[in-house]
A = this chain, B = another copy of it.
Amino acid sequence: MAEHPEDRHRPDEFSLIAKYFAPLAAHAPGAYGLGDDAASFMPSAGMELVMTVDAIVEGVHFLPGDPAHEVARKLLRVNLSDLAAKGARPLGYLLTTAWTSDTSVAWIADFARGLAADQALFGLSLWGGDTVLTPGPLSFSLTAIGEVAQGGMLRRSGAQLGDDLYVTGTIGDSALGLAVAQQRLSPSWPAAQMLVGRYQVPQPRLSFGQALVGVAHAALDISDGLMADLGHLCAQSKLGAWLDAARVPVSSSGRECLDGSLATLETILTGGDDYELLFTAPVSAAKHIDSIALQCEVPVSRIGKMVHAAEGIVAIDAAGQPMSFKQTGFRHF
């Protein structure tokens, strides 16, 4: 990125906030133009608030060379994905940014541009934040606030014995995209482009999640990996699960990697960062769920069943054999 004319004399925190971040709060009356160090908000009648927070660190959750607008969008979208999994409509967010003294104004401006683009796309506003200095790495934390009809929030704990297990979109693209970005995997150029894009900018399934309120029994978004997150859902619901690995939806780019023996099904099932919805619903809801998929233009796949806890969590491969995994998902430590 070209040097920004202001880089050599970076303006102070207050000027940066006024120039790049206050416009992001312009449509939120309770944000008071970021001039007040706190935001106020009244939820609509009959609605309850849903709040979630995620932090990202340079070198851990994003790569030092990633474009700032993509880092910003990923940060916002991983939180929106949490709201999607709760069936909530996003309203606003609070942001903390830890810049280093080397962070250029151009980088900050590009970061704010990424937020502006996604705010417009998903219909929410910046409500407030805090900016601090760090010796590095860059790190960010974002609290997203949404609303859902009172008592309607989807949870991890609601799954019932005999429920069908579903997943939106395709699984494994992001883990493969990270491998491509780190030059550990070299598929065809179009596949590489698609996979890296899925890693860099996840797609929160907001309308799908909102449509699942009152339909799904339990839901979460896949961030740690399909097997690990299925484990969280089972633990919270005190059930086991049987998963038909051949039914787990894989994109054509992912299929190319599998067919060329560039990647294994284990990477697909345990890689993480998918930000697709994993949910359970009664067998009787199957048609309703198909119609939600059509309406939201997001594919959905039935990939398994909820079983007794004593049966554990078992993935069956195409040959009908139970699979075993070296690692079931991303460990944060």
Q: Identify the A interface with B (CB < 8 A).
A: 10, 12-13, 30, 32, 35-43, 48-57, 59-61, 82-83, 85-86, 88, 94-96, 98-99, 101, 127-135, 137, 139, 141, 143, 145, 148, 150, 153, 155-157, 220, 232, 235-236, 331-333
Chain copies in complex: 2
Using A36-B156, A55-B130, A57-B98 as known contacts, list a sample of 11 further A-B pairs with CB atoms less than 8 Å apart, ordered by residue number in A. Answer: A12-B332, A38-B85, A38-B153, A39-B52, A40-B50, A43-B49, A52-B128, A53-B95, A60-B133, A99-B333, A133-B333
A134 to B99, CA, bound (A): 15
Can you list 28 residue pairs at the A/B interface with Cβ under 8 Å? A12-B332, A38-B51, A38-B52, A38-B82, A38-B83, A38-B85, A39-B51, A40-B148, A42-B48, A42-B150, A51-B143, A52-B94, A52-B128, A53-B94, A53-B95, A53-B128, A53-B141, A53-B143, A54-B96, A55-B96, A55-B98, A60-B133, A96-B141, A99-B333, A101-B333, A131-B332, A133-B332, A133-B333
Chain B residues contacting A60 (CB-CB under 8 Å) are 132-135
B42 and A50 form a contact (CB under 8 A) = no
Given contacts A56-B132, A94-B53, A131-B332, contact A48 B40 (CB under 8 A): yes
